[in-house]
Chain A
Amino acid sequence: MNIVKTSEGAKLTLALEGRLDTTTAPQLEAEVKGGLAGVTELALDFSRLEYLSSAGLRVLLAAQKIMNKQGNMVIRHVNETIMEVFEVTGFSDILTIED
C-alpha cells in the first residue's frame, strides 16, 4: 500500500492506494500515531483503495478517536466494496464519509 501525504497548515490529506489489510495497516497506523500532532483537519482519500479488512478498521477507529479530540476527520471517495464494509460494521455511523 502506498500513502501519499499532502499537508497544508493544520490540514492533512492522506491518499491511500492499494489494500488496507493486516500486512499494510501498520503503515497507516504509524502515520496516525506519529503524524497527527497539530492537525485539525484530517482527510483520507480512498479513491485508489481497493478494500480494507478489520485491521484497517482498527486504525481508522484509532484515527477517529484522536481527531475527535483535536478537530475533525473525513473520508472521501469510498468505493462500493468498502462502503459495504462500513455499513455492515456500523462504521458509517462513526465516520464522516464524503464523496
Chain B
Amino acid sequence: MHTETTLENPIFLENEREANRYSCRCLQVMALIAALAWLLNLLGVFIVPPAVMNLGMPVCILFFLLPTLLLSRASRLGGWFKYLIMGCCILGITVLSAAIPKHTVLAWVAPVLLSCHYYSRKLTASALAASVVCLYIAGIASLFVGEGDPNLTNALRMEDAVITPEVFREAVLFFLLPRSAILAGMSFVCITVAKRTRSLLEKQAADSSARQRIETELNVATQIQADMLPRIFPAFPERREFDIYASMTPAKEVGGDFYDFFLVDDDHLAIVIADVSGKGVPAALFMVIAKTLLKNAVQMGASPREALEKVNDQLCENNEAEMFVTAWLGVYEISTGHLTAANAGHEYPAIRRADGQFALFRDQHGFVLAGMENARYREYELEIGVGDTLFLYTDGVAEATDGANTLYGTDRMLAALNRNHTLGPEALLRQVKADIDRFVGAAPQFDDITMLFLQRKEAAARRSIQPPPQLESIPQVCAFLEQVLEEAGAPMKVIAQVNMAADEIFSNIARYSGASTVRVDCEAMENRAVVRFLDDGSPYDPTAQPEPDTSLPAEERAIGGLGIFMVKKSMDRMSYDYTGGKNILTIEKGW
C-alpha cells in the first residue's frame, strides 16, 4: 500500500507544480464554455431566463479563472494551492448548477477528474466529499433561483411547501443518492488511476537513481583507466636523448585501447601500444590484465618476442569471453637508438627518418594475443637515428569514419603527419588528432583513438672517463667532474658537493667492489648534472643500506655508512641499478 509521505519525493513535487498549471488550463476551458453558454443564451439560442444567467455566469466564470489569476503565487501557498483549485472548481460548478441544474449534471464529474492530475487519493476523496455536499446545496438553491432540478422538485412536492420525513427520504433517494453514487464510482476510477501512476513514477525514480549510480561508477572507472596510462609529460624530463608523447581518447566511457612506456633499466625504454577487441567495460577489464602482464614480462627481462609469447599464453588461459588484443611491443635502447620490436597483429608503425617523410614500416605481424595458445612471434630490429620519429597508433585512427562512412585511412594519416613533420611529438599528435576530428566532423566516434610518438634527439653532452679502480684515481675523477660542471656553469657549492659524493662513491668502489673497470659518465645540462658510476664489481646496492644513527655521542660513533648517507642527503636523487653485469649508481644534482 502506498503512503502519501512519498509526496515528498522530488518527482511528485515536480508533478504537483505541473498539475497546478494543467488544472488551471482545464478551468480556463470550463470558464470559456460557461461564457459561450451565456452568450448563446443572450442571443436567444438557449431559453434560460436572462436574469439567472446574467447573475450566475459571471460568478461561475470568476471562480473558474481565480486559480489562474493566483497561479503566480502558487509557490507561496505550497500544497494548499491544489485545494484552492478544487474549491474554485466545485464552487463554480455549484453556481452553474444552481442556475441551470438540468443541463449541468455531468459537470459534477469535473472536480473529481481534475483531482486525477495529483495522483493523490486524499485529494480525490476530499473532492468527492465536497462535490456531494455542494451538489445538494446547489440542488436546493436551484429551487429558489434557477429552474429547479426535476428530480428534486418532484421529490419535494413544492406545492405542499412542507418537508416531511417522507419528502426528505424521497429527496435523498431520488436525487442525492444516485448522483453521489455515480460520483463515488467515478472517484474510484480516478483513485485507481492515481495509484497506478504513482507506482509507475516511483519505479521510474528508482530506475533513474540506479542508472545514475552506474554512470557514477563508470566515471570512476574512466578515471582509473586514464590513471593507469602514463599521462604526465614530459615523462622523462631528465632524459634529453628522446622525447615521447602519447594520448588515448576512448569512444565510450571506458575503452580497450592502451599505450604504455617505462624504463626497463637505465638505458632501455619499453613501449607498448595495444587494442583490445570490443569496447566498454569488458574491453577495459581485459586491457588492464593485458597491460599488467606485458609490463611484468618486460620488466622481468623478457625480450619483445618472449614477452608476447608469454603474455599470449597467459591470456589464453580461461579466456571464456574470447576476447583478444593486438599489440606492438618495442624495447628501445636509449644510448644507441637501437629498437627491438615484435608485432602481434597490430597496425604497422610509421617512421620518419631525420630528413624524410613519414612512411609505414611494414613489419611482420604475428597472430593477435589471446587468440591461440602457443602462438609464435618474430622479433625485428630497427635503428632509430638522431632526429628520427616513430609513430604508433591503433585502428581507431585509420578507421575513423565521417558522416558518409568514408574511412580516414592511413594515406590521410600519413599526409597529416607529413604536413606537420617539423613539429615535436606533442604538437604533432595534436595536429593529427585535429585532422581526424575535422575529417570525422559530427559523426560519432566508433573506436578509441590512441597515438604515440617517440623521437630520438641529440644526446646531451656526455663525457666519460675510465680511471683505474683505485683510491689514487679520486683526484682525477674530481678534476674531471669539476671541469664538466664548471663549463656548465655550476656554482662552487654544487661542484664541492658533487666532488664529495664522487669521493664517497668512488672510494667505495675502489675499496670493496673488486671491480676491474669503472666508468664515470657526467652529463651536464643547463641547470643540472647527472653523474653515473658503472663498475663490473660484485653487485652491491648502497641505496639499500640502513641509515647511520646520527645522534650518538662521539665515543659511540661509527663511520661506516656515513658516506653514502651524506651523498643521499646532498644530492637531489640517487638511484641504483644492476644490469648487464654492472653496478650503475646514478646521482643527480640541480642548481
Question: Are A and B physically bound partners?
Answer: yes
**Interfacial residues, chain A to chain B (CB-CB below 8 A):** 19, 21-23, 50-55, 57-58, 61, 64-65, 68, 80-81, 84-85, 88-91, 93-94
B155 touches A (CB below 8 Å): no
**Interfacial residues, chain B to chain A (CB-CB below 8 A):** 471-472, 474-475, 478, 493, 496-497, 499-500, 503-504, 506-507, 548-555, 557, 559, 562-563, 565-566, 569-570
CA distance A62 to B59 in the complex (A): 115
Name 19 interchain pairs, CB-CB below 8 A, sorted by A: A21-B474, A21-B500, A22-B503, A22-B504, A23-B471, A23-B472, A51-B497, A54-B559, A54-B562, A54-B566, A61-B559, A64-B554, A81-B496, A89-B548, A89-B562, A89-B566, A90-B551, A93-B551, A94-B553
Q: Are A53 and B504 in contact (CB under 8 A)?
A: yes
Contacts of B549 in A (CB 8 A): 90
CA distance A19 to B477 in the complex (A): 14
Contacts of B552 in A (CB 8 A): 90
- Specify the chain B residue showing the minimal Cβ separation from A65: B554
- Specify the chain B residue showing the minimal Cβ separation from A95: B554
Q: Are B504 and A54 in contact (CB under 8 A)?
A: yes
CA distance A85 to B554 in the complex (A): 16
Contact of B503 among A55, A58, A93, A94 (CB under 8 A): A55
Say whether chain B's binding surface is mostly helix, strand, loop, or mixed. Answer: helix
Q: Are B565 and A53 in contact (CB under 8 A)?
A: no
CB distance from A64 to the nearest CB of B (A): 5
CA distance A81 to B585 in the complex (A): 23
Contacts of A89 in B (CB 8 A): 548, 550, 562, 565-566
A-B contact count (CB 8 A): 76
Contact of B554 among A19, A61, A81 (CB under 8 A): A61
CB distance from A96 to the nearest CB of B (A): 11
Q: Are B497 and A68 in contact (CB under 8 A)?
A: no
With A19-B499, A21-B503, A22-B503 as known contacts, state yes or no: A53 contacts B554, CB within 8 Å. Answer: no
With A23-B471, A55-B503 as known contacts, state yes or no: A94 contacts B557, CB within 8 Å. Answer: yes
Known: A53-B507, A90-B549. 10 other contacts (CB 8 A): A22-B506, A23-B475, A50-B496, A51-B500, A54-B563, A65-B554, A85-B566, A88-B550, A88-B565, A90-B550
CA distance A18 to B172 in the complex (A): 125
Q: Are A51 and B496 in contact (CB under 8 A)?
A: yes
Contacts of A93 in B (CB 8 A): 551
Q: Are B569 and A61 in contact (CB under 8 A)?
A: no
- Specify the chain B residue showing the minimal Cβ separation from A63: B554
CA distance A26 to B180 in the complex (A): 119
Give the top 6 A-B pairs by smallest Cβ distance, nearest first: A90-B550, A54-B563, A51-B496, A22-B507, A21-B503, A88-B569
Q: Are B557 and A61 in contact (CB under 8 A)?
A: yes
CA distance A64 to B475 in the complex (A): 27
